[in-house]
Amino acid sequence: MSNASLEATVDPKDVQGWISNLGTEPSAAVPLLQAVQQEFGYLPRKAMDLIVENTEINASQLFGVATFYAQFRLDPVGRNLIKVCHGTACHVQGADRLNTSLRHVLGMKDEEEDTASNGSYTVEDVACIGCCSLAPVMLIGEQAFPNLKGADAQRHLVKHAKTVGEILPGKDAEKEANP
Amino acid sequence: MSGEGLLINIGEGTCGIAAGAPEVTEILRKRFPDAKFTSVGCVGMCHQEVMVDITNPDGKTYQWGNVTKKNLPKIVRFHRGEADLPKQLLIKSTDEPDTDKSQYLLQQTRIVLRNVGQINPTSMAQFQERGGYTGIEKVLKGGMSPEDVIQEVKVANIRGRGGAGFPAAIKWGFARGAPGKVKYLVCNGDEGDPGAFMDRSLLEGDPHAVVEGMLIAAYAIGASKGYAYIRAEYPLAVEYFGKALDDARKSGYLGENILGSDFTFDIKIKEGAGAFVCGEETALLASIEGERGMPRIRPPFPAIKGVFGSPTIINNVETLANIPWIINNGGQAYADLGTEKSNGTKVFALAGTIKRGGLVEVPMGVTIRHVLEDIGGGSPTGRPLKAVQLGGPSGGCIPENMFDTLVDYDAINATGAIMGSGGMVVMDSKSCMVDLARYFLEFTQLESCGKCTFCRIGTLRMKELLTKICDGEGTMEDIEILEELAPNIKQASLCGLGQTAPNPVQTTLEYFRDEYIAHVKDHRCPGGVCKGLITHTIIQKDCTGCSICERYCPVDAIEGELKKPDTWVIDQQACINCGMCVEVCNPDAILAA
């Protein structure tokens, strides 16, 4: 679901910079998209158009690649990104509950929704991050949290939100309003 | 005591960091400002993270496990001579090398993992102190021809550790003989199997060993250009491998005229972008070329026509990390380990319901039971182990009564599972094999590139049928359709993804058919996992009325009066059976059945 307030402003000079570093040939498609996503957290349409205009990569290839690989997203992401690992070890040890409990505090009811309505957090499922002996695992930003139960995930999120000054639109926000 | 003379090694691989290593390091640095600190890779005892090795000035070493901010003061006081040894945190020490906890490593044979957890992966000097780069020196300065190298690897009989098990020497021979001005060597570090982390640990913990293996392989096949394709989900591996490349280049191990010879080779990193199919070699090549990762028809094989149309060899990280050892110790020493057709060692990533999870390297030919029970310590829950899943989505489940199967490519294939890249996920009686099959089919369906109809649509149909069965709406006919679809998908798919995707379904149907039938006929999930087949109820006699379940219930389905146990009930209409209440309930007063 796209959230207009989170749309990035693309400076063509940045895109030009990446193109001169990474090349204009078709094999540069993946690294270029990775550079764009690294900067904006997603692939803004304008950046994609600039790549097509200024390289040998045509729109069909670029959009084909962008929609093929799981890493890329076309919608803006929230100010903070949570990655919930759904590798086998995490799955058999209850990774689903992390999603249930995170989505609950974030007030995300619609299944298609992956970003909280206030743009605070995006919850993304990822394939194995390779910490299987510490399953289930999630990442908030770069920080990993091991051996989680659903309730732990919620506690870590609440703590994180407090540190970075985000409001959680889910249940706890209601409780704060009517203690 | 300022810590002068203390040597402190801290495991800071991805898993160590996740378990809290940076916090522990920070405190130790404050307590012992004059100690010498080394950040090492993950030794593979993930169940003991955070791990700290401290060597006293008298030369005695103590290995501590499960170190946290809270128990750290006990260790600090011990090393200051102010307190007794905190025994419960000790894994082993110079005085006590043979403890219950140290069995995990003592029972392993470490060839590939020889340096992992022993050295600082960003230090080329430490790698060289342990014999690093002597393999490539032996090759280039000792006058070994490319044919000699291939012969040595042939004697070792090392088979591809990525899962397919194709003999490395034969593959190299094809590329050596293939005409082409430029040849490529690709290191496949796209470890996509969920539940596997061997390659991550190697790239993070001993990146130079992979570089050295690539150098030797490139020399053997005559490659001048190399790619290391590493998953984007492994940022630390990308960083450390990149550092290793820079250092190797500065020291003349990469670039033109390596070590004064006429051998020229350099390596570029290609970060993957999250596609399981890219572990398949032709899809990986397409991805390097900037295309969607879709497999191509073989022949021509990559050894003849690979990346950008040139002869290309793709080897797995683990295969390559073995090569320097084989060159240094001789192919025969490697071949002496293992069984007749599976030689050397294999690294497994042990996870799931297991007491001691982590990296395990064993000689081929031991039993799976040895890995799970002697090394892994068996079940941590008190419930018996039920099965082990080998080879991820391409593999299968091996039931407990077949745990005596040998770690051997052919023996494992005979069970319907595959050796795979080495992921081993262990399950006890509280897991559902139908749900597991559904999980894997959901995965393969999502990851199918869409090129072959049977893979694209077949895996979707299988997933739908399995979901139906998990929801309690399946019929016996659905099971029959699954059995009919499985061989069709295998036959009509171009690459390994589709050819192996039905394995989890076929093996669970073969070994755990009773669970499928329980779902279909009795509308019951024996493992208590499938949400559509369980209900949650409060056992009021055990309830304390604390209300914690109410607070965590995401759908407000729980109600009652504070401190009045007999008032608490779950609204079955609203309940989504997520299990949050079971998790948070202290007196275990919620029944999921």
| Global ipTM | 0.90
Of the candidates B276, B349, B352, the beta carbon closest to that of A127 is on B276
Which residues 41-70 of A have a C-beta within 8 angstroms of B? Answer: 57, 61, 64-65, 68-70
Domains in chain A (CATH in brackets) are: 8-68 (no CATH), 80-177 (3.40.30.10)
A141 in contact with chain B, both atoms CB, cutoff 8 A:
no
- Check residue A3 and give its pLDDT: 61
The alpha carbon of residue B489 and the mean position of all alpha carbons in its chain are separated, in whole angstroms, by 27
Neighbours of B539 (CB within 10 A): 14
Mean pLDDT of all residues in B306-320: 97
Looking at the structure, do residues B417 and B497 belong to the same domain, yes or no?
no
A150 touching B (Cβ < 8 Å) = yes
Domain-located, residue B107: no
Chain B residues within 8 A of A144 when measuring between CB atoms: 14, 17-18
Q: Are residues B128 and B264 in the same domain?
A: yes
CATH code (residue B404): 3.10.20.600
Q: Are residues B178 and B224 in the same domain?
A: yes
Same domain, yes or no, for B230 and B290?
yes
Same domain? B418 vs B368: yes
- Taking residue B2's Cβ as centre, other Cβ atoms within 10 Å add up to 11
User: Which CATH number does the domain housing residue B58 bear?
Assistant: 3.40.30.10
Q: What pLDDT, on a 0 to 100 scale, did the predictor assign at position B593? A: 85
Structure tokens belonging to residue A137: 């695992």
Average pLDDT, chain B: 95
> How many domains does chain B contain in total?
5
Query: pLDDT digit string (tens) for A155-166?
Result: 999 999 999 999
Claim to verify: residue B203 and residue B159 sit in the same structural domain: yes
- Would residue A75 be called left, alpha or beta, if left means φ above 0 and alpha means ψ between -120 and 50 degrees? beta
Please give the residue of chain B at the shortest CA–CA distance from A34.
B273
Residue B115 domain-assigned (yes or no): no
- The span from the CA of B359 to the CA of B197, in Å, is 8
pLDDT of residue B55: 96
Identify the pLDDT of residue A179: 44
| Distance between A28 CA and the closest CA of chain B, angstroms | 6
Which residues, 6+ apart, have CB-to-CB distance to B491 below 8 Å?
Answer: B454
Give the model confidence (pLDDT) of B325-381 as tens digits. 999 999 999 999 999 999 999 999 999 999 999 999 999 999 999 999 999 999 998
pLDDT of res. A1:
46
Across A64-68, B189-193, B248-252, least confident range: B189-193
Q: Which of B368, B397, B428 is the last residue of a domain?
A: B428
Q: How far is A17 from chain B (nearest CA, A)?
A: 19
pLDDT tens figures, B428-437 = 999 999 999 9
**Does a structural domain hold residue B2?**
no
Predicted confidence band of residue A173 (pLDDT cuts 50, 70, 90)? low
3-class DSSP assignment, residue B213: helix
Pair (B211, B286) in one structural domain: yes
| Residue B580 included in any domain | yes
Q: pLDDT tens-digit profile of A10-66?
A: 999 999 999 999 999 999 999 999 999 999 999 999 999 999 999 999 999 999 999
Q: Is residue B281 located within the same domain as residue B307?
A: yes
Domain holding B568, by residue range, is 535-592
pLDDT at A174: 54
pLDDT digits (tens, 9 = 90+) for B448-482: 999 999 999 999 999 999 999 999 999 999 999 99
Q: What percent of chain B has pLDDT over 90?
A: 93
Same domain for B42 and B128: no
The model's pLDDT over B36-95, given as tens digits with 9 standing for 90+, comes to 999 998 889 989 999 999 999 999 999 999 999 999 999 999 999 999 999 999 999 999
Segment B133-143, tens digit of pLDDT: 999 999 999 99
* Residue carrying structure tokens 């729980």: B558
Mean pLDDT for B188-199 is 91
Cβ-based contacts of B352 with chain A (< 8 Å): 88-89, 92-93, 132, 135
Judgement on whether residues B46 and B75 belong to the same structural domain of the protein: yes
Q: What is the mean pLDDT of chain A?
A: 91
CATH classification at residue B471: 1.20.1440.230
State residue B233's pLDDT score: 87
Contact A88 B351 (CB under 8 A): yes
> b or e along B189-226 (b: 16 or more beta carbons within 10 Å of the residue's beta carbon)?
bbbbbbbbbbbbbbbbbbbbbbbbbbbbbbbbbbbbbb
Which pLDDT tens digit goes with each residue over B394-424?
A: 999 999 999 999 999 999 999 999 998 899 9
* Residue B355, domain member (yes or no): yes
Residue B114 lies in a domain: no
User: Any CB–CB contact under 8 A between A34 and chain B?
Assistant: yes
User: Within a domain: residue B529?
Assistant: no
Distance set, CA B213 to CA B243, B293, B328 (Å): 16, 26, 12
Contact: B578, A134; criterion CB under 8 Å? no
B117 occurs within a structural domain: no
Question: Is the pLDDT assigned to residue B126 strictly greater than 50?
Answer: yes
Q: Are A106 and A170 in contact (CB under 8 A)?
A: yes
Q: Is residue B322 located within the same domain as residue B268?
A: yes
Same-domain check for residues B423 and B439: no
Q: Which of A31, A68, A101 sits opposite B275 (nearest CB)?
A: A68
